[in-house]
Structures are given as structure tokens and as C-alpha cells.
């Protein structure tokens, strides 16, 4: 019965309170990983986001990682931002976490959304290499490098390589509808 209430939350609570109501319903129901996966799989984008927000409070182990991995495969920036929250910080392995950070850069999700970013990025030479490669690809295509890339690169503690990322020559404004430089 509580699963029906998840779907009704938007109508009953209005858009400004629906997510909080959905998260509260999930907590009250004590939803486990299989129930969360079912709600996520059957839900709208808003319902899926609520599941992602509730994960770190309801699931202690990695059994809900398929939900996070699915959200990271989407191009819905709200789902990507929710997917890189505290649950992902605790349970994504290094390889998948690095790709989640790059997904944020690709899609314009602010890296401030990435939970525990400073700790996980610290001294991560592979992440620094991936960032450098991404910046080089952007430059080769004559496209601006997202400013957040430099923030993350700085967190890795690795200097920019000669082929890559030095100081930003342009900054992408992710709030601009066409991604123009600011």
C-alpha cells in the first residue's frame, strides 16, 4: 500500500514537497534494497530521485548499487546528481566512482553534488589522468573545458601535464541553455 502513496505524493503534496514526502514514506516503510529497486524501476524520474536520496539511510551494504549504476547511465542530470550522493561515496568502487565524476563533467552536473569528493579524489593519479585526457579532448575539439574539471584536478593533488589542463582558458557556464562560455 505504501508504494501507491509514493506515486500519489506529487498530487497530494505538490511538487515542492513531493520528494520529501516520498523519502519519508520510504523511511517509514523501512524499504529494503529489493523494494527500493522495485519502486525505482517502476517510478517516474521524481520517484527515482527520491529512492536515490533515501538509499544512504535505508541500505547499509552495496546491494543497492544497481540502482545507482542505472541512474548514472541516464542523461537526466537530476538523477545523476542524486546518484553521486553519500551512498555512492560509500559503495562505488574506484573505477566506477571515477566514471561517475566524469559523467558529472560531461553532463554539467556540478561536482559539488559528488559526496565525499575531496577525500575520494585525494592523491588519485588515475582520476587526474582521466581528467587530463578529457580536457585534452575538449581542447582538441575546440570546446571549453568545464571549470569544475580544474577543481577536481586540484583535489587530486596532481599538477597538470604539459599536454593538458593548465589554468582554464575558458569556463563553461552550465546554467546557460546552450553551454556557452562565461
Higher per-residue pLDDT: 5 or 40: 40
Residue 4 — pLDDT band, cuts 50, 70, 90? Answer: confident
Mean pLDDT, range 6-31, rounded to an integer:
91
Residue 160, pLDDT score: 63
Across residues 48-54, what is the average pLDDT?
A: 97
- Locus of grid cell 579524489: 121
- Alpha-carbon dihedral of residues 48, 50, 56, 61, nearest 10 degrees? -30
Task: Convert the pLDDT of each residue in 98-128 to its tens digit.
Answer: 999 999 999 999 999 999 999 999 999 999 9
Q: Is the pLDDT of residue 139 over 50?
A: yes
Residue 82 pLDDT greater than 50, yes or no: yes
Lowest mean pLDDT, pick from 2-11, 28-37, 106-115: 2-11
Q: What percent of the chain has pLDDT over 90?
A: 77
For the chain, what is the mean pLDDT?
A: 89
Domain boundaries, the chain: 2-96, 122-182
Amino acid at each position: 500500500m505504501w508504494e501507491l502513496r509514493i506515486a500519489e505524493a506529487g498530487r497530494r503534496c505538490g511538487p515542492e514537497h513531493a520528494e520529501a514526502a516520498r523519502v519519508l514514506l520510504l523511511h517509514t516503510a523501512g524499504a529494503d534494497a529489493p523494494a527500493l529497486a522495485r519502486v525505482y524501476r517502476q517510478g517516474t524520474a521524481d520517484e527515482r530521485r527520491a529512492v536515490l536520496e533515501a538509499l544512504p539511510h535505508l541500505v547499509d551494504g552495496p546491494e543497492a548499487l544497481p540502482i545507482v549504476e542505472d541512474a548514472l547511465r541516464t542523461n537526466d542530470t537530476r538523477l545523476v546528481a542524486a546518484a553521486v550522493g553519500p551512498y555512492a561515496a560509500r559503495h562505488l568502487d574506484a573505477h566506477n566512482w571515477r566514471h561517475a565524476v566524469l559523467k558529472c563533467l560531461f553532463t554539467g552536473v556540478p561536482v559539488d553534488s559528488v559526496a565525499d569528493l575531496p577525500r575520494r579524489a585525494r592523491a588519485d593519479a588515475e582520476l587526474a589522468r582521466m581528467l587530463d585526457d578529457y580536457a585534452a579532448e575538449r581542447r582538441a575539439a575546440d570546446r571549453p573545458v568545464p571549470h569544475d574539471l580544474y577543481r577536481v584536478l586540484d583535489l587530486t593533488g596532481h599538477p597538470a601535464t604539459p599536454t593538458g589542463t593548465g589554468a582554464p582558458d575558458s569556463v563553461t557556464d552550465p546554467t546557460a541553455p546552450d553551454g556557452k562560455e562565461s
